[in-house]
Amino acid sequence: MDNKDKVHLPHSGLDYLSDELRYLHWDGFPLKTLPQSFCAENIVELIFPDSKIEKLWTGVQDLVHLRRMDLSGSPYLLEIPDLSMAENIESINLKFCKSLIEVNPSIQYLTKLEVLQLSYCDNLRSLPSRIGSKVLRILDLYHCINVRICPAISGNSPVLRKVKLGVTAIEELSSSIVQLKSLTHLDLGGTAIKELPSSIEHLKCLKHLDLSGTGIKELPELPSSLTALDVNDCKSLQTLSRFNLRNFQELNFANCFKLDQKKLMADVQCKIQSGEIKGEIFQIVLPESEIPPWFRDQNMGSSVTKKLPLNCHQLKGIAFCIVFASPTPLLSDCENFSCKCDARSDNGEHDHVKLLCYGLDPQPKAAVLKLDDSDHMLLWYESTRTGLPSEYSGSEVTFEFYNKMEHSKIKRCGVYFLFDKNRSSSCDEDSSHQDDN
């Protein structure tokens, strides 16, 4: 920031702020506290990101008009004030307040609180025993590494959508979580949790479940509403109980070396060959060194060539598969993988089509693979939005797979074409189209 963009205060500090202020937004506020004379009764929004503040004020203020408080990125913040009179506050953002040790217990009485964000408060240890708001939508405790107990929220928050408890010291998930009927996202990745309550199957709105890096050994029956499951680096995982792939779009089993994959891969084959794909994409990653045999068109290396049949207008989708290896453990962004198609017509003309870039759900954490020194298989299916039009019928095409990861290599690749006429509820491939050249 240029000096011309900064507010220059006198050496004596800031002695006065108008009590009529309603919106106070000051990036990088340079002082440890607000003026002692300041009355915040009329404040609606108090926004001090990346400040040097240690505490706002001493004592209790009448904050009846306050709707939003944002002190995110304030590394010296030691405490937040008593908010018992902030009865209308809707959002509290304390992300990256790394000196904060406890949150004032008054927040448990804030009945209109919708969003509570405390991620990356690394020294936070003490939270209220419960949160009483019935309109809470987001509870974010991600990377609060010293938090051992999640505040009781069961039944109190019927509209709660997202609970982020990843990378905390929490060891157990209460069975009362089943009362969170509206929950769509649950992040438990990197916690000490070793099992899930069987009641989790009753979370009928749950779509995203992150258990990555936990010591979980068995997955109970999961909600049929789930579309994304991340168990990356769950090295103790062995069993999937009554696992139904029907609605899944994203599955991350990287580093799950103890998992019996036979039933899982049989279900994946069935899901693709029967055309039971919800939405336009399905993707899975897991430890494996071979391309499945039902991929009739496969090859060593990073490219495979195929002469297309004459009925491309019946094409419903394409499944892609690669086996890749990393000589050293790494963290990888899935979007490092992409595929391009080089179509060559009978007259020798070329046409390049970029089909896709593989990537998980567009949340930073979900797009990361933690990989040990082992082969992994990445398989994904794209509906006909892949961009391979019917005009390529009868052409010879080469699919080239690209990997931008350093120290990683694509060892094998394959493609599988799903046509209307080879969709099968019995999941047996009618390969006649493969020879219809």
Mean pLDDT within 286-301: 95
> Do 227 and 182 touch, CB atoms closer than 8 A?
no
Identify which of 352, 358, 373, 280 has the alpha carbon closest to the alpha carbon of residue 321. Answer: 358
pLDDT at 345 over 70: no
Is the pLDDT confidence value at 42 over 50? Answer: yes
d(CA 16, CA 33): 12
Q: Are 118 and 93 in contact (CB under 8 A)?
A: no
Nearest alpha-carbon partner for 165 in 134, 203, 205, 192: 192
Q: Phi, psi at residue 109, to the nearest 5°?
A: -105, 5
Per-residue pLDDT band for 217 (boundaries 50, 70, 90) equals very high
DSSP secondary structure, 324-337, as one string: EE-SS-EEEEGGGE
Mean pLDDT of 285-313: 90
Residue 362: what pLDDT?
34
d(CA 109, CA 100): 20
Assess whether pLDDT exceeds 80 at residue 141.
yes
Q: How many H-runs (helices) and E-runs (strands) does the chain carry?
A: 1, 24
Q: How confident is the model at residue 233 (pLDDT cuts 50, 70, 90)?
A: very high
Residue 82 token pair: 């008593």
pTM of the shown model = 0.88
Average pLDDT, the chain: 85
139-155: average pLDDT = 90
Q: What is the mean pLDDT of residues 114-128?
A: 96
Range 121-134 average pLDDT = 93
Kindly state the average pLDDT of the residues 314-333: 75
Task: State yes or no: pLDDT of 432 exceeds 90.
Answer: no
Tokens (6 digits) for 324 = 């890749």
- Structure confidence at residue 390 (pLDDT): 65
CA 410, CA 236: separation in Å to the nearest integer? 27
Segment 147-157 shows an average pLDDT of 79
Q: How many other C-beta atoms lie within 10 A of the C-beta of residue 287? A: 18
Do residues 205 and 184 touch, judged by C-beta distance below 8 A?
yes
Domains of the chain and CATH, by start: 297-435 (2.60.120)
- Mean pLDDT lowest for which of 199-208, 323-332, 362-371? 362-371
Tell me what pLDDT residue 356 has: 52
Above 80 in pLDDT, residue 311?
Answer: no
- CB-based burial, 360-379: b 16+ in 10 Å, e otherwise: bbeeebbbbbebeeebbbbb
How confident is the model over 174-198, as pLDDT tens digits? 877 888 989 999 999 999 999 999 9
Can you give the pLDDT at residue 88? Answer: 98
pLDDT band, very low/low/confident/very high, at 277 (cuts 50, 70, 90):
confident
Question: For position 364, what pLDDT does the model report?
Answer: 35
8 A C-beta contact, residue 110 and residue 139: no
pLDDT of residue 386: 52
Provide φ and ψ at 285, rounded to 5°: -130, 140
The rounded distance, in Å, linking the Cα atoms of 214 and 237 is: 9
CA distance 233 to 132: 35
- Output the pLDDT for position 347: 64
Q: Which residue has the higher pLDDT, 32 or 402?
A: 32
Q: pLDDT tens for residues 89-113?
A: 999 999 999 999 999 999 999 999 9
4 confidence band (pLDDT: 50, 70, 90): very low
User: What phi and psi, each to the nearest 5 degrees, are found at residue 140?
Assistant: -120, 105
pLDDT reading at 86 higher than 60: yes
pLDDT-derived band at 307 (thresholds 50, 70, 90) equals confident
Q: Which residues contact 204 (CB under 8 A, 6 or more apart)?
A: 181, 223, 224, 225
